[in-house]
Amino acid sequence: MIPYVYVASSWRCDRHPEVIRILRDAGIGCYDFKHDEGAQFHWSEVGVNSEVENVADYRAALGMDRAIAGFDSDFNALKRASHCLLVLPCGRSAHLELGWAVAAGTPTAILLEPNLLVTPPELMYKMVDHLFTGLSQVVSWVMP
C-alpha cells in the first residue's frame, strides 16, 4: 500500500507548505487542504466571516452545498489516509481530525518543533502514537 498522509493543520500555520513539500518530495502522498482539488474551503463562501451570531445561522451555513463539499473533501481524504499528522499551530478542526484518526486506529503523530512550546500543555496528546520534533522523523515513520 502506498502511504498517504492526512496533514491536519490550519490556514494560519506557516509550516504547512513545507510539510507538504517535504512529504511529496519523499514520494509520500498527502492531502493539502490549501491546494488540492475540491479543498480550499473558506467560511466566507457560505456567508460567515469571523463570527456566527446564532445557532440557526451556523446550522444553515453548515448545510450549504459549498460547506458540504468542503467537509466531504477533507473527510474523504481523512478516511483514505494511512497516517494522520497534526502540524501545529492549528485549531479545533485539525484536532477533531486527529481525534477521529486515533479512534479509527490510523497511525497518528504530532509535529512539535523544538522552538514551539505547547502552551498550554495538552494531556490528551498521550493518545497519539508519536510526538516528533522534525520532518525527517515524520518521513522515517511513514516510509520505514
Tens-digit pLDDT profile for residues 36-70: 766 678 888 888 877 777 888 889 889 999 999 99
- pLDDT score at 87: 95
Evaluate whether residue 46 is within a structural domain. no
User: Is 73 a member of any domain?
Assistant: no
User: What CATH number is attached to the domain comprising 32?
Assistant: 3.40.50
Q: Is residue 48 part of a domain?
A: no
Half-sphere exposure of 113 (CA within 13 A, CB side): 11
Domain of 117 in residue numbering reads as 4-37+80-142
In a domain, 129, yes or no: yes
Whether residue 53 is contained in a domain is answered as no
Confidence of residue 24 (pLDDT cuts 50, 70, 90): very high
Contact present, 67 and 39 (Cβ < 8 Å)? no
pLDDT in tens, 61-120: 899 999 999 999 999 999 999 999 999 989 999 999 999 999 999 999 999 876 666 667
pTM equals 0.91
Residue 93 domain flag: yes
Q: How many domains does the chain have?
A: 1
Task: Please tell me the predicted confidence (pLDDT) of residue 78.
Answer: 97
Strand order in the sheet with 4-8: 29-31, 4-8, 83-87, 108-111, 130-132
Q: 131 burial class (0-12, 13-18, 19+ CB within 10 angstroms)? A: middle
Helices 65-80 and 55-62 sit at what angle, rounded to 10 degrees? 60
In a domain, 138, yes or no: yes
- The confidence score (pLDDT) of residue 9 equals 94
Residue 16 belongs to some domain of the structure? yes
Burial class (CB in 10 A: 0-12, 13-18, 19+), 109: buried
